[in-house]
């Protein structure tokens, strides 16, 4: 329910572990070593055995990397983690603002000449190419190496091997046979003989299976190759596959996961055309193995990425139901919260009670990520995770960022609400209202087919920008259907260049964070749909819009009403009316009374 990190991710051990790494570097003739937060599958989420970055540095964020040189060790993090990294790492590590500062130029400036090692299983082709391009013409050489962290991490956990389960057709909406043949036709049309797939969520989606190898994410880790005839070679621990062998059928050929690196080339002749690799997800070691076997490769999009992102009607129906179930659980929590003497509660109390409300649905399989419950200054840490050491007693005047979600067999949820403890100062209320205005603006958008998230995300920031404010995370990320709560390739961000399409599900979550004081975030999930014609429309362009999936009241007491336009007031009232309509049948007693008050018109 909450994290209490052991010595495996303790910054007190950072100096000694850094010294040990540098000793091994020197012994192998290396002047530097790259330590990513990544595994060989290249997903966002990693198992404990692959938490090399946190083991070395103490930094526990979900994105970042460390570049260790002889006299400096830079920990690169984006805007979500800049407060967190300074609180977590020892002085021997230097926080670096990324992507403003990129690793290639940073290495070039810090190291005049030398050899920098990297584990080719943990870096994608695209990542290494970008660093090599930046080092072009310098005396710094990037070289593939064994993993030096593994050499010094004596009590490294064993890899996960949890059993896989079938995701039934009633939730998947399309058989894995049909998925395989549909994607195989695309490969064949492009003249490609096969495609290598390393991302676990793509493999699980393709084969309609789920697992438990990664905390909070229903993933079975493995590797796969999809052939142009629809067959799949699947490399996965045999212990995981006992209950899904019959489901997979003979068209999915099974191999032990440990044999992947040695046997991949033998399954991919390349005689019918080149093998497709996604340079943004396939590790360098895959390309190296195929090059050594003289198998032609070509870079192209991951075959599962867009089909997985475009949810079918069955998946969307499941997501709607999961959100109503989850919304009733969150409403029960909020009803409980409002009835408490809040200053007697702690952040851990909130995390525990909220999960208890979700468990009471008797449908929760797992929370979808570690709940963020940041009160007061902790709320300014965007991806804060409460521990026994950081647990804060709620205080009068605190704002609480409560970001949470659930994994249900029919869908994945992610919702953020900002809560108040007593009276909140007017400046914070005005910031909250601007965040709400941004969320409303995105919720109401209509846009021409073909636009990407980078074209839309400014709408969610504009009310804050007008006040000289902003936030350092994306406006929204993709979300899977009983898969990962963070899903690509769709997103609402400056880096979101994939056009949004019908069926894609994203978060809509503007925020504002004042370090040392408070944080604010409001988040609903939305699904892309066709926009119907209106009285003023001449259908000059086919248009898209968002349908809101999340229905939980927004705290009316934090809204500065005079800042809202009449249209914004109408949106909030209509949203709350829908919340009342869909949640009331699922609530009883005090929670139902609370709902009526929480959704009263402004």
| 425 & 571 share domain | yes
Q: Tell me what percent of the chain is helix, strand and coil, each rounded to the nearest 5.
A: 40, 20, 40
Three-state DSSP class for residue 108: helix
Q: What is the pLDDT of residue 5?
A: 35
Same domain, 29 and 85: yes
Calculate mean pLDDT across residues 257-278: 92
Q: How many domains does the chain fold into?
A: 3
pLDDT of residue 1: 35
Rg (CA), the chain: 25
65 within domain boundaries: yes
Q: Which long-range contacts (CB under 8 A, 24 or more apart) does 152-156 make?
A: 152/17, 152/20, 152/21, 152/24, 153/52, 153/55, 155/8, 156/49
Structure tokens at 237: 């621990």
> 193 with 270: CB under 8 angstroms?
yes
Q: State residue 506 phi and psi, 5-degree precision.
A: -140, 165
**148 and 182 fall within a common domain:** no
Judge whether residue 7 has pLDDT over 80. Answer: no
How high is the pLDDT of residue 2?
35
Q: How far apart are CA 339 and CA 328, in angstroms?
A: 17
CA 365 – CA 403 distance, rounded (Å)? 18
pLDDT confidence of residue 79 = 84
DSSP 241: G
CA distance linking residue 519 with residue 418, whole number of Å: 8
In a domain, 499, yes or no: no
> What is the DSSP code (8-state) at residue 580?
H
Tell which of 122, 152, 182 closes a domain: 152
**Given this model, what pLDDT does residue 10 score?**
75
Do 120 and 230 share a domain, yes or no? no
Give a three-class secondary structure readout of 180-214: HHHHHHHHHHCCCCEEEECCHHHHHHHHCEECCCE
**Of 261, 276, 302, which closes a domain?**
302
Q: How confident is the model at residue 9 (pLDDT cuts 50, 70, 90)?
A: low
Residue 233 sits in a domain whose CATH number is 3.40.350.10
261 and 375 part of one domain:
no
As a residue count, the chain comes to 602
Q: Which of 100-109, 342-351, 527-536 has the lowest mean pLDDT?
A: 527-536
In a domain, 529, yes or no: no
What integer is the mean pLDDT of 13-37?
Answer: 96
* Phi, psi at 280, each rounded to 5°: -95, 0
Average pLDDT over residues 236-249: 95
Query: Does pLDDT of 329 surpass 50?
Result: yes
The answer to whether residues 283 and 392 belong to one domain is: no
Asked if the structure places residue 540 within a domain, the reply is no
pLDDT, greater one: 88 or 196: 196
Quick: pLDDT tens for 481-522. Answer: 999 999 999 999 999 999 999 999 999 999 999 999 999 999
Strands, E, within 432-486: which ranges? 446-448, 476-478
Q: Are residues 380 and 464 in the same domain?
A: yes
Residues 321 and 420 in one domain: yes
Last residue of a domain, one of 152, 187, 220: 152
Mean pLDDT of the chain: 95
Beta-carbon count within 10 A of 116 CB: 23
Residue 192 resides in a domain: yes
Average pLDDT over residues 157-173: 96
Within-domain flag for 64: yes
Per-residue model confidence (pLDDT) at position 464: 98
- Give the span between the Cα atoms of 377 and 520, in whole angstroms: 11
Has residue 349 got a pLDDT over 50?
Answer: yes
Q: Give the mean pLDDT of 212-233.
A: 97
Residue 90 lies in a domain: yes
Domain containing residue 371: CATH number: 3.90.230.10
pLDDT band at residue 537 using 50, 70 and 90 as cut-offs: low
Work out the pLDDT band at 380, boundaries 50, 70, 90: very high
pLDDT in tens, 169-219: 999 999 999 999 999 999 999 999 999 999 999 999 999 999 999 999 999
First to last CA, the chain: 36
pTM: 0.93
Residues 298 and 318 both lie in one domain: no
Residues 425-440 have a mean pLDDT of 98
Residue 80 banded pLDDT, cuts 50, 70, 90 = confident
> Tokens 């869908």 sit at which residue?
411
> Does 236 share its domain with 381?
no
In a domain? residue 536: no
* Number of helical H runs and strand E runs in the chain: 20, 28
In DSSP notation, 21-59 reads HHHHHHHTT-SEEEEES--TT--S---GGG-HHHHHH--
What is d(CA 181, CA 302) in angstroms, rounded to the nearest whole number?
15
Both 28 and 88 in one domain: the answer is: yes
Q: Name the residue range of residue 225's domain.
A: 165-302
């Amino acid at each position: 329910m909450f994290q209490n990190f052991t010595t495996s991710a303790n910054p007190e051990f950072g100096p000694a572990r850094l010294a040990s790494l540098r000793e091994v570097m020197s012994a192998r003739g290396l002047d530097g070593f790259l330590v990513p937060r990544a595994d060989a599958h290249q997903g966002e989420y990693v198992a404990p055995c692959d938490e090399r970055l946190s083991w070395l540095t103490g930094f526990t964020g979900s994105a970042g990397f460390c570049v260790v040189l002889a006299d400096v060790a830079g920990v690169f993090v984006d805007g979500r983690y800049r407060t967190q990294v300074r609180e977590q790492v020892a002085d021997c590590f230097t926080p670096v603002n990324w992507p403003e500062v990129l690793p290639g130029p940073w290495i070039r400036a810090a190291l005049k000449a030398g050899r920098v090692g990297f584990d080719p299983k943990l870096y994608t082709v695209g990542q290494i190419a970008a660093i090599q391009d930046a080092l072009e013409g310098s005396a710094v050489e990037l070289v593939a190496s064994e993993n030096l962290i593994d050499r010094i991490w004596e009590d490294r956990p064993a890899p996960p091997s949890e059993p896989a389960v079938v995701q039934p057709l009633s939730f998947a909406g399309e058989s894995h046979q049909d998925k395989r043949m549909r994607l195989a036709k695309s490969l064949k049309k492009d003249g490609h003989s096969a495609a290598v797939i390393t991302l676990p969520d793509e493999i699980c989606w393709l084969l309609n299976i789920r697992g438990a190898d990664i905390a909070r994410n229903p993933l079975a880790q493995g590797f796969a190759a999809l052939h142009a005839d629809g067959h799949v070679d699947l490399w996965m621990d045999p212990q995981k596959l006992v209950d899904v062998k019959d489901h997979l059928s003979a068209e999915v050929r099974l191999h032990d996961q440990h044999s992947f690196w040695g046997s991949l080339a033998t399954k991919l002749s390349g005689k019918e055309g080149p093998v497709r690799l996604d340079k943004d997800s396939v590790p360098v070691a895959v390309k190296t193995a195929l090059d050594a076997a003289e198998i032609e490769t070509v870079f192209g999009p991951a075959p599962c990425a867009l089909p997985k992102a475009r949810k079918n009607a069955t998946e969307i129906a499941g997501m709607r139901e999961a959100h109503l179930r989850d919304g009733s659980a969150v409403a029960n929590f909020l009803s409980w919260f409002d009835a408490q003497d809040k200053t007697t509660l702690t952040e851990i109390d909130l995390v525990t009670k909220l999960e208890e409300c979700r468990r009471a649905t008797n449908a929760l399989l797992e929370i979808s990520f570690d709940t963020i419950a940041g009160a007061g200054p902790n709320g300014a840490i965007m991806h804060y995770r409460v521990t026994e050491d950081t647990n804060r007693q709620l205080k009068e005047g605190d704002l609480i960022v409560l970001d949470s979600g659930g994994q249900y067999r029919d869908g994945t949820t992610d919702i953020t609400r900002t809560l108040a403890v007593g009276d909140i100062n007017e400046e914070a209320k005005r910031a909250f209202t601007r965040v709400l205005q941004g969320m409303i603006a995105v919720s109401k958008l209509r846009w021409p087919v073909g636009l990407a998230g980078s074209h839309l995300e400014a709408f969610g920031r504009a009310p804050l920008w007008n006040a000289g404010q902003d936030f350092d995370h994306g406006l929204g990320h993709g979300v899977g259907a009983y898969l990962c709560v963070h899903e690509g390739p769709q997103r609402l961000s400056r880096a979101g260049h994939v056009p949004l399409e019908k069926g894609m599900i994203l978060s809509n979550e503007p925020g504002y964070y004042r370090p040392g004081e408070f944080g604010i975030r409001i988040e609903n999930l939305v699904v892309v749909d066709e926009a119907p014609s209106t009285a003023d429309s001449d259908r000059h362009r086919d248009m898209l819009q968002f349908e809101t999936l999340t229905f939980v009241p927004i705290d009316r007491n934090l809204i500065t009403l005079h800042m809202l336009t009449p249209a914004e007031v109408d949106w909030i009232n209509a949203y709350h009316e829908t919340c009342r309509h869909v949640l009331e049948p699922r609530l009883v007693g005090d929670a139902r009374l609370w709902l009526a008050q929480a959704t009263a018109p402004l």
